[in-house]
Amino acid sequence: MNDYHHAHDAYLNAAISLIILRAKPELLKELVYGMHYTHKDNKEKIGTYSKNATQRKKMYDSLLDFTLDDYLTNEDGEILWEYKHILPKMRKIMNYRQINITKKPELLTGKFGDETVYQADEKSKKFASGLKRHLSPQKYGGTKKPISGFSVVILNRNDEIKAVSISSMLSEKYLGTEDKLSFIQNIYPNEKIQKILVEKVRKYTRYILPNGAVRLVSSYKEASNGMQLPMMDIPDKNSKLKDIENTFDKLSKFISDNKLFTDVKIEILNSTIRENFSQFEVNEKIDLVQELLRVIKGQNQNLKVLSKAGLGTTAQQLQSGNIITNETTLIHQSVTGLYETRVKLK
C-alpha cells in the first residue's frame, strides 16, 4: 500500500533493541555488532548464555519474556519497562507522517528490446536486434519495440517542452557524444528540436505537474503516482459501517488531491459514486474500497464495482495528461531525501 513499512522496520529495530539492553545490560556484547566476546574476556564476563548452542537458544527464546509483565524495575527501583507507557508511545510514533520516502532513479540499460518474439504479420514493427537485424520483420517476425533507457527534455521551435526517449541500444552512444543536440536531432528530425533542457531524466525521477500533482517518471510517455498513501486501517467485512465509509472518504480525497482521475471523473467520484456507495451492501462496499486502493497503486483495469457505481470508462490519467511539459518542475533528490533541487521548465 505504501513504503512506510521500511521506516517502521528501522524504528522498531532500534526501539526494541534499546529496551532489551536496558532490561538485560549483561547481553551488550552478545547483541551489539562489533562488541563480540574475545579470548580476553573471562568466563565470568561471558556468563552462562554463551557457553553452548542449547543455552544460547534458550536465551534467545526467552529474550522478550519480561514484556509479558506490566513493568520491570532494576535493583535501584528504576523502571526499565512499563507496558502502559511504552506501547502507546510506540503506536503514536508509528503513525507519524514525517518520513522521507525516495526512490533510486535508474537508467534502463540491461536489455535492448521487448523480449517477446512476435509472428510475422502486416503490423510488425521494424525493430530487430543482433544478427537478424537485416531480415524483414514483415516476413520473419521479431520483437516489437526497443526499450527506453531514459528520457531527454527538449525545447522545440514552437517553444514546446517535451520529453523524448533514448533507447537502451543508443544510450551509451548518446552519453558519450559531445554534440548531443545534433545526435538527438538526427533521431527525431520531425520534432524540430531547438535546445536540450535536461540531458538525462532517469526512471523514478520525481516531478510536479503545472496543476500541482506529484508524479514519478515511468517512461517518457507514462508516469506513476509520486505521493504515498498515509497509514490507515483497511476495513474488512467484519468492520463497522462507519469505518468503511470513513476509509472510502479518505481514499477518494487522496485520489482527488493527487489528481489520479480527470477533473470530470473526480467530480463523479465525490458525488455520484459516493451516493451509490452508501446504498451498496457491505461486500460491495469492501470491493469498491479495494478497487480505490488499486487505482492508487496505478492499476486501472477491471474496475467493475467503480464502473457500476458510476465511473463509466476508466479514466485514471497517468499518461497523456501527466507527461513532462511546459511549467513542469523536476525534483532532484539526495539518497535520503533531506536535500533536493527543483528545476522549473519554462
The x, y and z cell numbers of residue 24, run together, are 538485560
What whole-number distance in Å separates Cα of residue 143 and Cα of residue 282? 47
Q: Among candidates 219, 202, 206, 203, which has minimal Cα distance to 145? A: 219
pTM: 0.72
What whole-number distance in Å separates Cα of residue 112 and Cα of residue 104? 21
pLDDT string in tens for the chain (346-residue length): 678 888 889 899 999 998 888 888 878 877 888 776 666 665 555 555 556 778 778 878 888 888 888 888 887 788 888 888 888 888 888 888 777 778 888 888 766 666 666 565 545 454 544 555 666 666 665 566 677 889 999 999 999 999 999 988 888 899 999 999 999 999 999 989 999 999 999 999 999 999 889 999 988 888 888 888 877 888 988 899 999 999 999 999 999 998 888 888 889 999 999 999 999 999 999 999 999 998 888 777 788 899 898 887 655 545 556 788 899 999 998 888 888 999 999 8
Q: Among candidates 209, 182, 186, 175, which has minimal Cα distance to 196? A: 182
What is the H or E stretch that residue 199 is in?
A: strand 193-201
The x, y and z cell numbers of residue 285, run together, are 462496499
What whole-number distance in Å separates Cα of residue 274 and Cα of residue 43? 69
